[in-house]
């Protein structure tokens, strides 16, 4: 146990241990016992802080994602345009992770999909979607302005990226095969590369 770990509460040690394990193997299982042992804590103690394994995984994942991004990143020309765009897109996904993603989608579905489709509901949903797409289009326009992205149909590009984000978001809400960190990153890279190298 390091000095840092001594000064951390059990809860923090557990999350830290889980984060480390995710770092070593992005597809780590984060089993109760393994994390507890790694954190130098009993399973009972761990289960006091995280009553279910899901709670544990969510907490660790949230910690990992929290160390990531902010919005004005798109203007930071010291990093490649590609990374900036990816970070910003990730920003959209950040609020939804694990159980939160599930709750978020449940809310969305109950709000927009379960009730019969009135014009009001339609308009509300379209407003949300438009706002999301507007942000993406803005990021793209910034890249175009600085020459990192060829002038072209940003609306179409943004719609493509939003579709990918929708897919990723759904996949976050549903159980993931392995760590969504890895596959999600790959997919995001693929999509962004596709947009950045698009002729028109």
Q: Does 195 bind DNA (CB under 7 A)?
A: no
Cβ–Cβ under 8 Å, residues 54 and 64: no
Report the number of secondary-structure helices (H) and strands (E) in the chain. 10, 0
The least CB distance from residue 89 to a copy of itself, in Å, is 13
Site string for DNA, 22-41 (x = CB under 7 A): -------xxxxxx-----xx
Member of 68, 79, 106, 150 binding a copy of itself (CB under 8 A): 106
Residue whose CB is less far from DNA, 82 or 102 = 102
Residue 43 interacting entry, from a copy of itself, DNA, none, C-beta within 5 to 8 Å by type: DNA
- Rounded CA-CA distance 24/37 in Å is 16
Restricted to residues 130-159, the positions that interact with a copy of itself (CB under 8 A) are: 130, 156-157, 159
Member of 3, 24, 44, 72 binding DNA (CB under 7 A): 44
Specify burial of residue 123 (Cβ count, 10 A radius: 0-12, 13-18, 19+): exposed
Member of 17, 61, 86, 162 binding a copy of itself (CB under 8 A): 162
- Tell me the C-alpha to C-alpha distance, in Å, between residue 46 and each of 13, 17, 97: 10, 11, 21
Member of 62, 121, 142, 148 binding a copy of itself (CB under 8 A): 121
Cβ–Cβ under 8 Å, residues 60 and 18: yes
Q: What is the DSSP letter of 95?
A: T
Q: Does 45 bind DNA (CB under 7 A)?
A: yes
Cβ–Cβ under 8 Å, residues 134 and 164: no
Q: What does the binding site for DNA look like in residue numbers (CB under 7 A)?
A: 9-11, 29-34, 40-45, 47-49, 51-54
């Amino acid at each position: 146990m390091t000095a840092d770990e001594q000064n951390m509460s059990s809860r923090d040690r557990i999350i830290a241990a889980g984060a480390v394990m995710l770092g070593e193997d992005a597809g780590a299982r984060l089993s109760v016992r393994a994390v507890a042992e790694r954190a130098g804590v009993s399973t009972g103690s761990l289960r006091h802080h995280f009553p279910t394994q899901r709670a544990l995984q969510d907490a660790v994942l949230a910690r990992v994602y929290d160390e990531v991004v902010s919005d004005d990143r798109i203007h930071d020309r010291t990093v490649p345009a590609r990374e900036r765009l990816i970070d910003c897109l990730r920003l959209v996904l950040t609020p939804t992770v694990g159980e939160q993603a599930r709750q978020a989608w449940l809310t969305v579905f109950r709000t927009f999909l379960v009730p019969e489709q009135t014009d009001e509901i339609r308009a509300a949903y379209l407003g949300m979607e438009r706002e999301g797409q507007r942000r993406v289009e803005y990021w793209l326009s910034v890249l175009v302005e600085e020459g990192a992205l060829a002038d072209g149909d940003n609306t179409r590009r943004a719609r493509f990226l939003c579709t990918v984000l929708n897919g990723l978001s759904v996949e976050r809400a549903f159980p993931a095969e392995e760590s969504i960190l890895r596959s999600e990153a790959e997919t995001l890279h693929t999509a962004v590369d596709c947009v950045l190298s698009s002729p028109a």
